[in-house]
């Protein structure tokens, strides 16, 4: 039996992107209405096919979001504990307006020194979905910085920098490189950066159609990280839609 919590992640995606889902539902209804008014068999078939295509794409995107946020390890983020065996690690968590990970980090690492960076004020262009996400779910922890660089953190003092579904909101490549350079500068020996992102690939195209273009390819993330002086330590997937890159100096 499923509960409301089983669909919490997908429901949040709908809340953040409700104009898209409303438009898709309206388009499907309108196409079906037009289809009923057509006398041409060909036009009736085309309207029906278009309505089914819009509905199918909408359902697929919802199921993909449910898979990622409600049915994968991203539901509780406990996989991070294997990456950070220290009992009292120093962690920096970076988000871009919607903080979906701090509460999980507090639960997974109760003895951690946890600092939050909120990049929302530094975004040159804000996606409407991020604006709505911040409105519906305001950050609960005060950030130590809202800048891409110049964080008030000692160099070499951090065990883990987590950047989850946040860096792609920086639309300029130089900003992404600057973020990686700043994160690299605060890592201690053995420290790592964990980047979690949807990527621009075939699976995300099937799930989100042209919405895939809002993401960047894994190759682009590797290029930015290399320019920042980082090396790829490991690369993994959580579903075919999300990649996790573990980076180190």
Structure tokens at 209: 């159609």
What CATH number matches the domain at 75-248, 3.30.390.10, 3.30.300.350, 3.40.50.150, 3.40.30.10? 3.40.50.150
Cα–Cα distance for residue pair 98/129, rounded to 1 Å: 10
Q: Which helix (H) or strand (E) holds 236?
A: strand 231-238
**Domain ranges for the chain:** 4-70, 75-248
pTM above 0.95, yes or no: no
Sorted by sequence, the CB contacts under 8 Å of residue 180 that are 6+ apart come out as: 193, 224, 225, 227, 228, 230, 247
| Cα angle: 71, vertex 73, 77; to 5 degrees | 130
Per-residue confidence in pLDDT tens, the chain, 249 aa? 344 478 999 999 999 999 999 999 999 999 999 988 888 889 999 999 999 999 999 999 999 999 999 999 999 999 999 888 777 899 999 999 999 999 999 999 999 999 999 999 999 889 999 999 999 999 989 999 999 999 999 999 999 999 999 999 999 999 999 999 999 999 999 999 999 999 999 999 999 999 999 999 999 999 999 999 999 999 999 999 999 999 999
How many whole angstroms separate alpha carbon 66 and alpha carbon 130? 19
CA distances from 99 to 104, 118, 172, 243 (A): 10, 8, 21, 19
Packed helices 41-70 and 8-16: angle between N→C axes, nearest 10 degrees = 120
Q: Calculate the CA 129 to chain-centre distance.
A: 12
The residue written with tokens 């099937």 in the block is 206
DSSP-H helix ranges across 85-229: 102-108, 128-136, 173-186, 202-208, 218-227
Kindly state the helix (H) or strand (E) to which residue 93 belongs, with its residue range. Answer: strand 90-95
Please answer whether residues 162 and 93 qualify as being in contact, where contact means their C-beta atoms are separated by less than 8 angstroms: yes
């Amino acid at each position: 039996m499923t509960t409301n919590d089983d669909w919490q992640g997908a429901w949040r995606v709908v809340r953040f992107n409700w104009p898209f889902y409303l438009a898709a539902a309206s388009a499907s209804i309108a196409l079906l209405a037009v289809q009923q008014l057509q006398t041409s068999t060909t036009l009736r078939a085309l309207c029906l096919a278009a309505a089914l295509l819009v509905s199918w794409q909408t359902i697929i995107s919802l199921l993909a979001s449910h898979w990622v946020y409600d049915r994968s390890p991203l539901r509780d983020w406990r996989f991070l504990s294997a990456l950070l065996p220290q009992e009292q690690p120093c962690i920096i968590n970076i988000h871009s307006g919607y903080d979906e990970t701090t509460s999980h980090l507090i639960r997974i690492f109760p003895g951690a020194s946890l600092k939050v960076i909120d990049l929302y004020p530094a975004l040159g262009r804000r996606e409407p979905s991020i604006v709505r996400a911040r409105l519906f779910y305001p950050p609960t922890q005060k950030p130590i910085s809202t800048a891409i660089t110049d964080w008030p953190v000692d160099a070499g003092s951090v065990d883990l920098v987590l950047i989850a579904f946040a860096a792609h909101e920086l639309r300029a490549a130089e900003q992404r490189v600057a973020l990686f350079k700043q994160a690299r500068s605060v890592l201690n020996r053995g420290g790592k950066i964990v980047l979690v992102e949807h990527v621009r690939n075939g699976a995300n195209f099937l799930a989100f159609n042209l919405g895939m273009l809002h993401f960047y390819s894994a190759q682009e993330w590797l290029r930015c990280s290399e320019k920042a002086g980082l090396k790829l330590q490991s690369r993994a997937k959580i579903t075919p839609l999300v990649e996790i890159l573990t980076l180190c100096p």
